A and B are shown apart, each in its own frame.
Chain A
């Protein structure tokens, strides 16, 4: 670890580049991440929380969706008395809210004008974020376990609807354009678009298979990931995990895919070569049968992975698989984590109905001092 004054000198004299400097400082902050003792998010959820999403533009607004169909938005910049306030709410049981559990929420990838949510009530809703009304609703045959809106082509939504195929919905024409079928023997419950390549997406099923698709390619999937990739004989036998897939995440350059399975393992895959990178993360016990949200922070020197594991969040170095930290604060199982690339903070939510804020220690220590002094000041003021 290089001390900040030394590193600043190196930056100022051009011995290291700006990008190396900021990555090293981010890594240093990530490694000292802890539950924030000074800031918290306004409590609003009365039911367990399933999904989180931070707005991609500024990293300011946090969407959260829960088991009773409720959706809330927090403003993570505004702080009154150390609490990040709720700025929008769709409580359960209201007119527009989902009837059953909201499984996924996602901001429109380009701005904060709209967001999408999908639910066990077999619908996907596109919301106007300002009026908090759905402007579009799509119904499906199965429960929507996961949906994902492509960053490259924002109009395409990929859905995992608890069937043996995944579907693609085009928001432009409001029509279901594709069925990605023939690859899974179980039910597709996870799906994700490549963040870089327009036509590339990945599906994960209860059969432990992870399949890579090119949506232009009509004759099935491109590849099914295989743990040992020695098993060349039958592509149908390729398995990425020995149990169902509970979460998938791309690295932001789209070169690597992380999968998390109910077999309590996390694997990293080279997408282009469809190859296991063979990084051993050890056993990360997975409690959720449905699906969780993992987060990858790749703005540091080495990418760091946050995986919900029971009541704790496991923090791992993705180049070595080494466990860096175990973040414990939730009182029930954790269902989702999101990392903010802008403010370098982490948000997590779970069955204990709370959203927690995690940030770097140094800031924290000072914050608490500030607060205590501020309180002391208020006291003395009132004495006068």
Chain B
């Protein structure tokens, strides 16, 4: 067996569908966006799109449609998944903040033996009468789901339809009693249109009122026109026809020939927006006379991301959902430019390749993905946590605290005053730096009013242009304008201040176990109350919550000895609540904060680096304790503001930023080794910065946008295909392609303005000469290589040009571009050191494409060296096919060429030399190497394991999976288990049995099966989080990452059997407890499903489900934890408590 834990680290971002309608309330307009397995519900407001709910579906959303029952005031959502589950959802608004998703009815419409249509699933709803939903899922069958408002279950029946290849269909508005369905279908390479009347009572198809034979050969879209006459628009490859039964009107816009229309949305009865696959938007306008359409026209609007779906929101704003690029929100204008991009939503979509590199050498891996296509093509750098970009750095040791002050009198009246002074506190002294305008930090002396000979505990600007300074000996209140001390407060003789907390108007001081409460007035400090607590005070907090304004009525105090948190009321210092901490470690820092404007939290860190957090009620009561381990050292919490929201910075040996997202706390590591103290700081020279102090230096820097995974985009303007990293030269080698027809000749004739913002290199650098001259040079110089004549193939419609880019690892600047010959496809790249040669080389494999051949017969392998800013071709070898994969293997190269694996060694003449007998399969697409093993992923025949025998230099087959699986990525988990992803979106693991008898040894058995629902294009070894010593629950050094077509990144970690057993029980219980949207069973969703194989999932734990445990209420946790046993020391078994469960799952969430 093989046991694995799989969890999504970055959810899919490619938009696969979108809809607008009044879903939540009869008046609100909503946008629903489908992203593979997720639904996002947003409300359209005047300020923009406001996300209100995110729903996970146990299935990939294939089609979603809105519809409305007659006499209902809200729209409902119908969706169909890839596994043919259907459901009707209602979004009900309990309050303006809280939305409930209700499954009105559900069902499954699969026919296990029917033949799924290649044209994809088509769904149409009969509107406005809402009598039936028609689906075309399988060739030759129309499926009808009769709609009934009361029915809980959706049942369907099939109607045999003679037209096997239907490309699109729609309902026509008609006066007849039965719905009329219009279809476009293909018959013997021609397309026709036909109408059918669906006789609902007899469940039969009747001949429809009209049809049209011999349409445009590429006619594949029907747009119904709601009208007095039943009209329909048929969009084809060259024509757009408006057809209304008796007659039709046809136009042939010139730009249709240059693009293919893939989606549309309706503005009103007369205007439609059409989106083309090369990323262009068009507007189709119908002109009417006497309510009769007399003509129509198509006009170009402009360029956007390659659209997958379009939704017209309101006021000329359109949502462009994209699968191959960032989705966009655009506004249309009446004048040029017609399109203005309002917002853009990051999409990693179509991750074709990725690598894990540790660029900063901090043990923190980053992921570089090849994302997007065409003009949306880019490299994305994905890093866990938040980056601090250093602006200034001073070496200073022993800093005990750091605060920013506004001392400049000139700007006191300004609305947004900027800080100009930094106060640094040390043992026994306080130093001040001025950083008002120059970029240099300059140590200054403070006015004498400040106490500089003692350690400052707190310094801040307070009410009435005053500054408060708290030291161990006294409290100073200083006027900013006069720079003089206006009031002072001393502790009683012989006592010193041990802790302090303050806000704009209040100050709390701790004198060992005495708590003193002061209030700041204009020009004075007044002691209001003093109380003696049971134990000495360890930490305090006076931060205000959002709803309280600038004064708080609650003070929280952490105590020594009994290790508890007290919540006291202000100003009378009465105890409101006492919370014992479950650990014998003293609290070091407490903090109150309001996240997302609504929820109040109390955070408390302990001296061992763990953090507890609670919901804070207005009565002071603390509920819902949760625990997270942040670091190993005492941790200090600081509140700071970034991008208009408050977040918390936890200063420790593993600095963390705490924020809230969709009412969940998120903990993001910061890319710094250690932070002891911090404060937010904004001066003219360093706007919106943070000041951070570590053991021996002091840094001013800016912080990234706050999100869990940080994604940086490097636009290329071409489609990146493959990437390799060469550490020695600090460069990336990226194979990119650009579609000449679509980008230059085709679209250049349309418009060119958008090109300038695509990529600086693609349009500014003319590198068209590179590849060709290089080829010519090489032939001239007589180096033996493939003769250029054999490579000169007639152009055969392959319209893509491939190049190799060398990109700098730090600046991501394109250093060099090498273009390959026409029809030459770059298919693989790797960086390798060969033989005893000390130089690193890029090895690039290309294939020559000929339209007549289904498999390439000729390819080339280049050995290239990047050196001194030049790319030098060291060797070039002709291959008898496409080198689909190249790997470094024992200082040699293992190359998969069509159906063979060959080994090449590097000889003294710097040339590749074929070595070793090749191994054969069907078409070998993937190679992975470990030790002497080479794992082979075949196009169709699953996986084969080869062993390299160095003594006789031969490859020997030692294991094979005999099942038919179309692999899309493979990986070696360990010596005996092998992971593969296949084209039906499943994952499976094969195991080799090295101890088996000789005749059965070669059979590898599938021991783990799982339906992922993501098309995995690449699996790499690596992890997104820093390996942390000791307490990680899962071995991160054996973690693997996958990248998918829809932009999801996930983590796969092999786990031990004991953990699997426990998690499996939790998973089973959770699947029962958590209600799924659409009532789809979790087990059904994860069932391995290929064309001829259905097997229940095994060997994989669905981490996405497991992590939902953390959101469960306590009662649900109780029921989940029932009957789950754990082994204790001494062989006993005991039941797991809900706390154990939460702890286990919280630990698991830290692997991503």
Contacts and interface: CB of A to CB of B under 8 A. Distances in A.
Interface size classification for chain B:
35 or more
Interface in A273-318: 273, 298-299, 301
Contacts of A23: 118
A255 B849 contact: no
Interface in A1-28: 1-6, 8-9, 11-14, 17-23, 25, 28
A334 to B, nearest CB: 26
Given A25-B939, A367-B920, A299 B1017 contact: no
Interface string B964-993: 101010000000000000111100000000
A60 B962 contact: yes
A5 B827 contact: yes
Interface size classification for chain A:
35 or more
A137 interface: no
Contacts of B847: 5
Contacts of B139: 253, 255
Nearest to A194: B113
Nearest to A373: B917
A370 B118 contact: no
Contacts of B925: 8
A94 B166 CA distance: 56
A196 interface: yes
Given A28-B854, A252-B113, A252-B115, A22 B966 contact: yes
Nearest to B859: A5
A272 B158 CA distance: 11
Given A9-B721, A22-B966, A253-B138, A4 B855 contact: yes
Contacts of A9: 352, 721
Given A1-B852, A28-B854, A19 B116 contact: yes
Contact of A17 (B118, B324, B856): B118
B798 interface: yes
- Find the residue from A17, A58, A256 having the highest chain B CB count within 10 A: A17
Contacts of A196: 111, 113-114
A178 interface: no
B854 A4 contact: yes
Contact of A18 (B164, B882, B985): B985
A344 B920 CA distance: 17
Contact of B850 (A3, A11, A367, A377): A3
Contact of B1015 (A2, A18, A25, A255): A18
A252 B111 CA distance: 12
B1091 A19 contact: yes
Contact of B323 (A3, A11, A14): A14
A320 B164 CA distance: 13
A341 B1091 CA distance: 10
Interface string A182-205: 000000000000011000000000
B882 A4 contact: yes
Contacts of A366: 898-900, 920
A370 B113 contact: no
A338 to B, nearest CB: 15
Contacts of B963: 58, 342
B983 A370 contact: no
Contact of B798 (A6, A256, A370): A6
B13 interface: no
Contacts of A2: 851, 854
A58 B962 contact: yes
Nearest to B882: A5
A3 B856 contact: yes
A299 B964 CA distance: 13
A18 B188 contact: no
A342 B840 CA distance: 43
A341 B1090 CA distance: 13
B644 interface: no
B352 A12 contact: yes
Given A23-B118, A252-B113, A3 B855 contact: yes
A363 interface: yes
Contacts of A22: 940, 966, 983, 1091
A255 to B, nearest CB: 5
A343 interface: yes
Interface string A215-235: 000000000000000000000
A374 B917 contact: yes
B1014 to A, nearest CB: 11
A14 B350 contact: yes
B242 interface: no
A11 B164 CA distance: 24
B1045 interface: yes
Contacts of A77: 962
A369 B881 CA distance: 15
B665 to A, nearest CB: 35
A362 B855 contact: yes
B160 A254 contact: no
B1031 interface: no
A270 interface: yes
Nearest to A299: B1091
Contacts of B324: 13-14
B350 A21 contact: no
Interface in A120-144: none
Given A11-B983, A14-B323, A298-B115, A253 B140 contact: yes
Contacts of A253: 111, 113-115, 138-140
Interface string A339-373: 00111100000000000000000110011011001
Contacts of B850: 3
Contact of A20 (B118, B962, B985, B1091): B118
B141 interface: yes
B955 to A, nearest CB: 11
Interface in A239-267: 251-256
B191 to A, nearest CB: 15
Interface string B52-92: 00000000000000000000000000000000000000000
A12 B1046 CA distance: 10
Contacts of B983: 11, 18, 21-22
Interface string A145-175: 0000000000000000000000000000000
Nearest to A303: B115
Nearest to A8: B925
B373 interface: yes
B918 A370 contact: yes
B349 to A, nearest CB: 8
B1019 to A, nearest CB: 13
- Find the residue from B14, B963, B1092 having the highest chain A CB count within 10 A: B1092
B62 to A, nearest CB: 10
Interface in A54-71: 58, 60
B853 interface: yes
Given A196-B113, A253-B140, A4 B118 contact: no
B899 A195 contact: no
B948 interface: no
A343 B14 CA distance: 34
A20 B115 CA distance: 12
A3 B162 contact: no
Contacts of A273: 160, 162
A251 B115 CA distance: 10
Given A366-B900, A374-B917, A19 B855 contact: no
Interface in B360-380: 373
7 contacts: A6-B825, A12-B968, A12-B1045, A13-B373, A20-B118, A77-B962, A270-B160
Given A21-B966, A77-B962, A272-B160, 8 more contacts: A2-B854, A5-B825, A18-B983, A19-B1091, A32-B854, A362-B898, A363-B899, A370-B918
Interface of A: 1-6, 8-9, 11-14, 17-23, 25, 28, 32, 58, 60, 77, 195-196, 251-256, 270, 272-273, 298-299, 301, 319-320, 341-344, 362-363, 366-367, 369-370, 373-374, 377
Please give me the 10 A-B residue pairs with the lowest Cβ-Cβ distance, nearest first: A18-B983, A272-B160, A196-B113, A253-B114, A253-B115, A20-B118, A366-B899, A28-B854, A3-B849, A14-B1045
